[in-house]
């Protein structure tokens, strides 16, 4: 297969030039100038990137298959340009042992869309008490550990988890949230929570756990990845820790880069996420941290919920929104278009960087690597319409927004898995 005449961007090779990309036997064969092949994808005017990697998604299998299955979730992934996803283990039951990791991997293979990399739970049943069998989960293919949905409340357990994870060469991904400080809050604590009369979650609820985990990572040498960083204070803590060599990486969710807490004023539960949408100053700090490399990765934190749950009033609705089919267009429209991020920066945050955090061989177009490629049309305008999503859920705050750009062709292992060419 030949992908012809696109702007090939590969951060791993510091490459950004117009070229053809040749694929043979499911692997990248070369970048340069080649004769047409049996299958040629015309990519003039398009970006040709390594297949996008979303290291933070929630597929609801097992347990809530009405909201998302591994098949529907990975179909949504390739439609959004993602060739690899890492799935959080807060299913019902939780993915906390060898068979459950193996089951998710198998379901991913059966679906045959995006590559599915399970993340195992830190604690048995995500109860925060006993350490799960991390070594056995790695044998079954777990790429990291997390009790996401909740923080690891016990400092002792977090310390032991980082020690084990270090031995296994895997990161611990922490959802940093101090439950006592978060209390019954439903949105960011600030001007808007007071004005709207809704319970607030202070920035400190996140920052105290970020600070604790940085200390524990530094003490143990275990690799910490901070999930969905949302405050200026967290960013500053991580920036300073990186400067002194603490083994830490972090990610930001796309919605925290484009939405502030002011959006909650319509009381639409599709703006209810955890961590909550923060202030304008926080959003500015997150954008600056992405641009200067303090934040490594951009994720969707794709969190499907059934319509009847999300139709509850704001205070009662569950936290979480879906994002696999909107992350790339929102990124192009609101961050790359206005010049907040360059194309190579944005591509690195969605390919090479998450692949490195998880130790995956994808995320690059180096010859010999798996031919996971996303051809991006950076220009076409289209209205985001949840009715057309492959995801089983519809809890998306961007419904009705105008987007510019999208995944045109998504290729996994040399096979076209999504094709939006006219
Ligand atoms: Zn989380
Ligand atoms: Zn999450």
Hey, what are 253's tokens? 């969710």
- The rounded Å distance from CA 196 to ligand 2 centre is 26
pLDDT for residue 311? 87
Q: What is the 3-state secondary structure (H, E, C) of 336-380?
A: HCCCCCCHHHHHHHHCHHHHHHHCCCCCCCCCCCECCEEEEEEEE
- The rounded Å distance from CA 246 to ligand 1 centre is 22
pLDDT for residue 269? 96
- The rounded Å distance from CA 76 to ligand 1 centre is 20
The predicted-structure confidence for 161-215, as pLDDT tens digits, reads as follows 999 999 999 999 999 999 999 999 999 999 999 999 999 999 999 999 999 999 9
**DSSP label at residue 398:** T
For residue 139, pLDDT beyond 90? yes
**Which ligand has the nearest atom to the CA of 322?**
2
Q: How confident is the model at residue 146 (pLDDT cuts 50, 70, 90)?
A: very high
- The rounded Å distance from CA 338 to ligand 2 centre is 28
- Among 147, 178, 301, 372, the one annotated catalytic: 301
Q: In the chain, helix, strand, coil percent, each to 5?
A: 35, 25, 40
The predicted-structure confidence for 234-262, as pLDDT tens digits, reads as follows 999 999 999 999 999 999 999 999 999 99
Hey, what are 1's tokens? 């297969």
- In angstroms, what CA-CA distances link 172 with 64, 143, 165, 226? 25, 10, 7, 8
The predicted-structure confidence for 48-65, as pLDDT tens digits, reads as follows 999 999 999 999 999 999
- Number of Cβ within 10 Å of residue 58's Cβ equals 23
Average pLDDT rounded to a whole number, residues 28-39: 96
**DSSP label at residue 302:** B
**Which ligand has the nearest atom to the CA of 228?**
1
pLDDT for residue 121? 98
pLDDT for residue 310? 87
Strands 224-226 and 15-24: unpaired
Is the distance from CB of 322 to CB of 395 less than 8 angstroms? Answer: yes
- The rounded Å distance from CA 56 to ligand 2 centre is 6
pLDDT for residue 120? 98
Active site annotation includes 25 = no
Q: How confident is the model at residue 309 (pLDDT cuts 50, 70, 90)?
A: confident
**Which ligand has the nearest atom to the CA of 152?**
1
Is the distance from CB of 372 to CB of 27 less than 8 angstroms? Answer: no
């Amino acid at each position: 297969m030949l992908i012809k005449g696109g702007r090939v961007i590969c951060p791993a090779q510091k490459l950004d030039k117009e070229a053809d990309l040749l694929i043979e036997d499911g692997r990248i064969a070369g970048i340069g100038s080649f004769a047409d092949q049996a299958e040629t994808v015309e990519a003039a005017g398009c970006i040709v990137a390594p297949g996008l990697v979303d290291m933070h998604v929630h597929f609801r299998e097992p347990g809530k298959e009405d909201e998302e299955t591994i098949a529907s979730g990975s179909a949504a992934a390739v439609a959004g340009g993602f060739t690899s996803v890492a799935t959080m283990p807060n299913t019902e039951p939780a993915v906390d042992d060898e068979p459950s990791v193996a089951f998710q991997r198998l379901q991913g293979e059966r679906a045959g869309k995006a590559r599915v990399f399970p993340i195992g739970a830190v604690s048995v049943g995500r109860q925060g008490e006993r350490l799960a069998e991390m070594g056995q989960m790695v044998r079954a293919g777990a790429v990291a550990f997390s009790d996401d949905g909740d923080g690891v409340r016990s400092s002792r357990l977090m310390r032991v988890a980082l020690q084990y994870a270090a031995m296994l060469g895997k990161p611990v991904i922490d959802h940093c949230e101090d439950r006592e400080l978060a209390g019954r809050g439903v949105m960011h604590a600030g001007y808007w929570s007071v004005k709207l009369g809704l319970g607030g979650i202070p920035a400190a609820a996140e920052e105290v756990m970020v600070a604790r985990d940085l200390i524990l990572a530094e003490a143990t040498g275990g690799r910490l990845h901070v999930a969905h960083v949302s405050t200026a204070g967290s960013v500053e803590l991580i920036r300073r820790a990186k400067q002194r060599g603490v083994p830490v990486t972090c990610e930001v969710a796309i919605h925290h880069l484009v939405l502030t807490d002011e959006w909650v004023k319509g009381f639409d539960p599709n703006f209810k996420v955890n961590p909550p949408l923060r202030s304008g100053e926080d959003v500015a700090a997150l954008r600056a941290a992405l641009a200067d490399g303090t934040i490594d990765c951009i994720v969707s934190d794709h969190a499907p919920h059934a319509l009847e749950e999300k139709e509850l009033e704001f205070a009662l609705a569950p936290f979480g929104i879906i994002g696999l089919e909107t992350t790339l267009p929102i990124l192009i429209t609101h961050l790359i278009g206005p010049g907040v991020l360059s194309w190579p920066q944005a591509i690195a945050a969605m390919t090479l960087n998450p692949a490195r955090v998880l130790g995956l061989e994808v995320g690059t177009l180096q010859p010999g690597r798996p031919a996971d490629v996303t051809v991006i049309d950076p220009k076409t305008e289209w209205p985001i319409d949840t009715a057309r999503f492959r995801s089983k859920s519809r809890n998306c705050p961007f419904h009705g927004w105008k987007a510019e750009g999208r995944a045109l062709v998504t290729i996994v292992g040399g096979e076209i898995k999504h094709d939006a060419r006219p």
